[in-house]
Structures are given as structure tokens and as C-alpha cells.
Chain A
Amino acid sequence: MENTMKLNPARKTKSLNRNFLMRNMGLIASYTFLIVMAIIIIYPILLTIMSAFNVSNTLYSTSFFPENFSFTENFKSLFNDTAYLSWYTNTFLLSIVTMVLSTVIVVVSGFVYSRYRYASRKSALMSLLIIQIVPSGSGLIALYAMASSIGIYSSENATLYTYIFMTLIYTALGTTMNTLLMKGYYDSIPRDLDESAKIDGATQLQIFTEILLPLVKPMIVVIAIFCFLGPIGDIIMPKFLIASMSSDSKTLAVGLMGLINDIKDSNYNVFAAGAVLAAIPPVLVFYKFQDYIVGGLTSGGVKG
């Protein structure tokens, strides 16, 4: 027995090696997949960042590493030649107001859907689901007609009213799906907690604010971020609603789009610079709240 083992050391090692490969096949496959995915995601981001520091005219001549490197050139022209700052403030004001409004509505309506039983509850929940079926783009013309018919465009403060109008629409868009998410999260908190607080002497309002709100905080953060990001990324609706307005009143997406819309007069590097700046707030938000986001989306709630 010992002899046979000594006779074929090489063979034995080889088979061991093969076993090693075989055993870690799954791990190797998943790492390969993850690396490929990471490259697909990171490469365009890096390309954008790099071209933001490259002074040149076209995207096609841009190499990955800047040829005419300049820290500030593109950003200077962004602030001097376009209304970038006012796009920026427009967009983030719109986002923040939308975020606050939808989050407040979602937090309260999720609570009501989860904790109260009333006649129209089922049909209301059903309609929330049904609304999801209609693509939001299909209502654009109707929205424009609505805005026009209530006299937004003919008023003196057309820009302000348009933005208020958009805020309301984004708020409504932000509440449907998120209400269902929020309700699900409330549902995962055992009702025993409510009842226990009730017996401890808490009013309905105290149960809501002192017991449930702290427990749904991860979901509130997630939903607030969703609502915050919605208006920043959207281009179709603002383009529709503010098409006829002055450059000052555009949103980031629409304004930046304008930079690369015209084949003859596009400036891809300035566009890239604008995109990089626009990405900073969302990135910071994600970075700050990453624990909540992962926790809020994955955990099934809090079991005492």
C-alpha cells in the first residue's frame, strides 16, 4: 500500500490539483462574472471622468487618457458659457422638494395601509398596483395639455409654476410603488409591538412616532433616496414641459443634453464635466447611507 503511494507522487499531486480546480469552480466562475460586470460598469464612468479633464472637441478623438490635460478648462466653460449653476439649483431644488413630499406621504400612507382595516383598503391597494402597469411616458401629452389648460405657460411666473407642477407629478410618481414597499416593511414589524405600546399607554400617534418610525428608518432612507434620484435622472418629462423656456430654467439633464444635441456644435468634454459634477450629490448620498440601502432592501424587518 505504501509502495504504490510512493510510486506515483506526481500523479497524486496532479489529481489533487485538478481537485482544487474542480472544488473552486463555482468561486472562479462567480469571480469572473463579477470582474466582467465591474469592468462593464466602471469603464464608462472612468471614460466620462477622464474626458471631463480633456480639452478637445469630439468624443471620437478622445483617448482614455487625456491628451490635453486640464483640470479646470472644461469646468470653466461649463460655468461661463452655459447656465449650469441655475440648472443645478433647479434640479436639486426640484429633487429635494419631491423627496420631502413623497417621503412624508409614503411614510404615512404605508402606515395606514399596514395597520388599519377599512372598506376601501383592498381596492386602494389594488389600484396602486394597477397604476404601475401604465408607463409614465404615456401621459406626457396629457400632462402638457393639463399644464397648458390651467394657464401655467401664459402666466408671468411660468417657470416657477412649471416647477411646482413637475414637483407634484414627481411626488405622485414617487408615492405609488414606494407606498407598497413601505407597507410591506411596516407589515414585517409584528403587531405585538403596537399592542404592547398601546397597553403601556401610548396613543396611536405615539405608537406611530415612537415605536414604528424608528423601526422603519432604513426603509424611509431608501425611499427618500429613490425619490431624490427620480427627478435628477429624468429627461423626457422636463424636456416636454420646459422645452419652450429660457436656458436658465432647464434642469440638469435637459441642459446637459443640449450640449451634445447638435452634431456640429457639440461639446462632449464640457458635457462630461457637467455630468461628473451632477453625479457628486447622488454619490455622496449613496456613500453616506449605503448601510441603510443594503439593509433596507434586504432585511425582512425587525424581529424583537
Chain B
Amino acid sequence: MSKISLRNIVKKYPNAEHCSVSDFNLDIEEGEFIVLVGPSGCGKSTTLRMIAGLEDITSGEFILDGEVVNNVSSKDRDIAMVFQSYALYPHMSVRENVGYGLKLRNYPAETTKKQVDEISKDLFLTQYLERKPKELSGGQRQRVALGRAMVRTPKLYLMDEPLSNLDAKLRTTTRSEISRMHRAKGAITIYVTHDQVEAMTMADRIVLMSMGEVQQIGSPKELFTNPKNCFVATFMGMPSMNLIEGSYKAGNFSCDSFTIAVSDTDKKILDDAGYDGKSLFLGARSSAIRSGKKYEEAFPNSCFETTAMNVEYLGDSVNVFFNAEPNNLFVGTLGTGEREVEVDEKVTLVLDNTKLHFFDSETEESIKYTINQVK
């Protein structure tokens, strides 16, 4: 039996036309790090707030340790939460902030002090313990918020975009801090973010949501390599996956800009699924677009010539943007050792046709999803 189960959770605000969250199902095992990710307004924060008990659950069941806790107040759910705004109590010192939860649970003063000291040592806050939150920098406040959650050992840690107010460098270090704390505590963590990089790097499993609906649940690798639909495919990965509409016929995919041969495995899948002569979406990650003799020889039937519209230098790789008719901007990432491309230069690019994705042009569902899952 799983530690936490969310069954058919629905949230509908009064007077709202649509559900903010519809039919959310998830089972979480002991010690898992779950990341809820999605664009803003997709219902991920609402889901988290329902788990926290800050929002009512319209229908469905939230089961914690085998008990339905829909109507249990947040203070009795034994959870800790880190807020996006940190929500530190401005009138209390760092020590009081961190120890407040323990104080409310009637821990003896000595234990509280010891635990606060321990956690602040862990988070490098010892010298700031007597300061007020407004005398701290953003990163320090963030660590206080983290410490306030980590000082207790609840059943469940909830984090609502805790890194979004930090600068990029601090974000990376705090990210690994959170991962480290999670491993040390071993309690379930549910983490909300809109940043797919955070989701990829931290999660055991990712729950990708859009418009209040779960799009796909799986490990970062599953979501990246086997996206269920166009939305998942374009949301995960940076730069996002290139999608182009075209038609498939007898092992060849052709759109306005190019015609390429699909791999033998893909040909079999597409023919079996009855897509011969039909239109579909081709999805190619920028890393599947290459250049150079080596690739041209390896994939002689999937080369095409195009003009580079823009070039982004990234250090050890280069993003090449080019126009793919009818209306898509394509991007390929060329690594070191491949040819250097100038803006407006004509260049021959190769599609690595072993790494292609195909989506139904109407449902936008992945054609290879179920087959890959079985594998």
C-alpha cells in the first residue's frame, strides 16, 4: 500500500466555469521526490495547496497513511511546507522562525534549541540566528524557510516554487541543497515548479500538468525520451522539441521544407498503426539535428539543405535556427567538432532518424508511446 494516494481529485472554485484541477490520480511511495511541473495556471499549486489542506478538495480522496484526510486541518496532517514568498514571520528572529513549529507542538525548550542549532548549522545559518528576516539576503531567507520545514520530521514536505525568487547561481546550489536534505530525511517531498530543469534534475517522478489535467507521470528519463503527447514533448527539454506537420508515405516523411526517410523500426510502427498516406507531426529534439560528413554518411536519406536564420553560441555547442515551412522555426544544436555555421549560410543538416517522435495530427498523442512503454 502506498504511503500517499490521491484519487480522482477535483478542484472547482465556486463561480468558475472550468475545473482548476480535474481527475488527479497519483500514488506516492515512501521516500519519493515528486515534482509537479507545468506552465502557470495549470493547477499544480492548487493541487499542492489541496494536499497541504489550504484549499478544500471539491471531490476525490486524499489518503495519507491509509486514512482519508480530506477534512483534516493542515495543522493535524503532519506536513511542512516551503512557500514561494518564504512567508517568514517578520517580527520573529531566525531562531524563533525556525523553532516556531516545534514550540507550537510543545517540544521542551531544550530540544527545540538543540534541533534549531543543528539545522541552522546544516544550512549555514548559525551566525544569523538572532537576526530578523528583513536583515537577511534573499538566499539566506530562502534557507531559513527551508530550515523551518526541515527542523521537523513530518510525513510530507511540500515546496511551492521555493527557488523562483533566487538568482540563477543560487538556484543551482540551493537545488542540490534540497536534494541533499531530501536524501537525509527520506520523507516524501512534493515539489511544485514551472521550471522543467528543476523538475528534470530533482525528481524521482515528474507529474506534468496542463490546464488542470495530468499529461504524463513518469521518471525524468521517461518524460524526455518517451513523451505521451505534443505538450509533454515540447515542455520537457531545452530548447524545446521541434514539431512539424507533414505527411507520411511508404517510409518517407515529407513536409514543405524537406523529405526524409524514417528508420526501419519507425516505418514498421507507422505502417502497423495505419498512418501510411496520412498526415502527422514529426518531433525532433535539437540534439537529433546534426551536420557533418560523418552523419551524412550514417543517414544518407535524411539530409536536407537549409539557410541558417540565427546562430546562438553556447560555448561547447551552437544552436542553429532555420525556417521549416509551413510555419515552424526549427532549432538544431551542433556540438564541438561539427561545422561552424554563419548566419544566412546555406548548410546541409542531417536528421538522426533513430531519435524521431511521431504524433497523431489530430489527437496530438504520441504514436510510439505505448510501444516504447512495453519495451
| Cβ A201 vs Cβ B90 within 8 A | no
| Cβ A197 vs Cβ B89 within 8 A | yes
Given contacts A195-B54, A197-B100, A198-B54, contact A203 B86 (CB under 8 A): no
A214 within 8 A of B: yes
The answer for the CA separation of A211 and B91 in the assembled complex, in Å, is: 8
The answer for the CA separation of A198 and B55 in the assembled complex, in Å, is: 12
B374 within 8 A of A: no
The answer for the CA separation of A114 and B106 in the assembled complex, in Å, is: 29
B79 within 8 A of A: yes
| Cβ A193 vs Cβ B89 within 8 A | yes
Given contacts A199-B52, A206-B104, contact A193 B74 (CB under 8 A): no
| Cβ A304 vs Cβ B101 within 8 A | no
Given contacts A214-B91, A215-B91, contact A200 B86 (CB under 8 A): no
B44 within 8 A of A: no
The answer for the CA separation of A198 and B101 in the assembled complex, in Å, is: 9
| Cβ B104 vs Cβ A201 within 8 A | yes
The answer for the CA separation of A196 and B141 in the assembled complex, in Å, is: 14
B10 within 8 A of A: no
A202 within 8 A of B: yes
A192 within 8 A of B: yes
| Cβ B89 vs Cβ A198 within 8 A | no
Residues on the B chain within 8 Å of A200, using CB: 75, 100-101, 104, 148
Q: Out of B52, B80, B90, B104, name the residue touching A302 (CB < 8 Å).
A: B90
* B292-347 residues at the A interface, CB under 8 angstroms: none
| Nearest Cβ on chain A to B105's Cβ, whole angstroms | 5
The answer for the CA separation of A200 and B89 in the assembled complex, in Å, is: 12
Count of chain A residues near B, Cβ 8 A:
19
Q: Out of B81, B85, B133, name the residue touching A199 (CB < 8 Å).
A: B81
| Cβ B75 vs Cβ A198 within 8 A | yes
The answer for the CA separation of A206 and B104 in the assembled complex, in Å, is: 9
The answer for the CA separation of A187 and B332 in the assembled complex, in Å, is: 50
Q: Out of A192, A202, A214, name the residue touching B104 (CB < 8 Å).
A: A202
- Considering only CB atoms, which chain A residue lies closest to B134 in the complex? A304
The answer for the CA separation of A215 and B88 in the assembled complex, in Å, is: 12
B83 within 8 A of A: yes
Residues on the B chain within 8 Å of A302, using CB: 90-91
The answer for the CA separation of A198 and B74 in the assembled complex, in Å, is: 6
Residues on the A chain within 8 Å of B68, using CB: none
B87 within 8 A of A: yes
A190 within 8 A of B: yes
- Considering only CB atoms, which chain A residue lies closest to B54 in the complex? A195
| Nearest Cβ on chain A to B98's Cβ, whole angstroms | 10
A-B contact count (CB 8 A): 64
| Cβ A304 vs Cβ B104 within 8 A | no
- Considering only CB atoms, which chain A residue lies closest to B80 in the complex? A199
| Cβ B100 vs Cβ A304 within 8 A | no
| Cβ B83 vs Cβ A196 within 8 A | yes
Interface string of A203-228 (1 = CB under 8 A from B): 10010000100110000000000000
Count of chain B residues near A, Cβ 8 A:
26
- Considering only CB atoms, which chain B residue lies closest to A190 in the complex? B85
| Nearest Cβ on chain A to B71's Cβ, whole angstroms | 15
| Cβ B52 vs Cβ A201 within 8 A | no
Residues on the B chain within 8 Å of A206, using CB: 104
Residues on the A chain within 8 Å of B133, using CB: 304
Residues on the A chain within 8 Å of B52, using CB: 195, 199
| Cβ A304 vs Cβ B105 within 8 A | no
Residues on the A chain within 8 Å of B81, using CB: 195-196, 199
| Nearest Cβ on chain A to B232's Cβ, whole angstroms | 31
| Cβ B101 vs Cβ A201 within 8 A | yes
| Cβ B85 vs Cβ A304 within 8 A | yes
| Cβ B87 vs Cβ A195 within 8 A | yes
Residues on the A chain within 8 Å of B85, using CB: 190, 192, 304
| Nearest Cβ on chain A to B151's Cβ, whole angstroms | 10
The answer for the CA separation of A302 and B91 in the assembled complex, in Å, is: 9
The answer for the CA separation of A33 and B252 in the assembled complex, in Å, is: 84
* A75-113 residues at the B interface, CB under 8 angstroms: none
Residues on the B chain within 8 Å of A190, using CB: 85, 87
The answer for the CA separation of A193 and B100 in the assembled complex, in Å, is: 12
Residues on the B chain within 8 Å of A201, using CB: 75, 101, 104-105
| Nearest Cβ on chain B to A220's Cβ, whole angstroms | 13
The answer for the CA separation of A113 and B89 in the assembled complex, in Å, is: 22
* B51-86 residues at the A interface, CB under 8 angstroms: 52-54, 73-75, 79-81, 83-86
- Considering only CB atoms, which chain B residue lies closest to A200 in the complex? B101
The answer for the CA separation of A215 and B89 in the assembled complex, in Å, is: 9
| Cβ A193 vs Cβ B104 within 8 A | no
The answer for the CA separation of A211 and B89 in the assembled complex, in Å, is: 7
- Considering only CB atoms, which chain A residue lies closest to B160 in the complex? A192
| Cβ B87 vs Cβ A192 within 8 A | yes
Q: Out of A203, A214, A215, A304, name the residue touching B87 (CB < 8 Å).
A: A304
Taking A200-B75, A200-B101 as known contacts, 4 extra A-B pairs with beta carbons closer than 8 A to each other, sorted by chain A number, are A192-B83, A196-B83, A197-B89, A215-B91
B→A interface (CB under 8 Å): 52-54, 73-75, 79-81, 83-91, 100-101, 104-105, 133-134, 141, 148
Closest 3 CB pairs of A and B: A192-B87, A200-B101, A196-B87
A→B interface (CB under 8 Å): 190, 192-193, 195-203, 206, 211, 214-215, 302-304
**21 A–B contacts from the bound complex (CB under 8 Å):** A190-B85, A192-B84, A192-B87, A193-B89, A195-B74, A196-B81, A196-B89, A198-B54, A199-B53, A199-B79, A199-B80, A200-B104, A201-B104, A201-B105, A202-B75, A203-B75, A214-B91, A303-B90, A304-B85, A304-B88, A304-B133
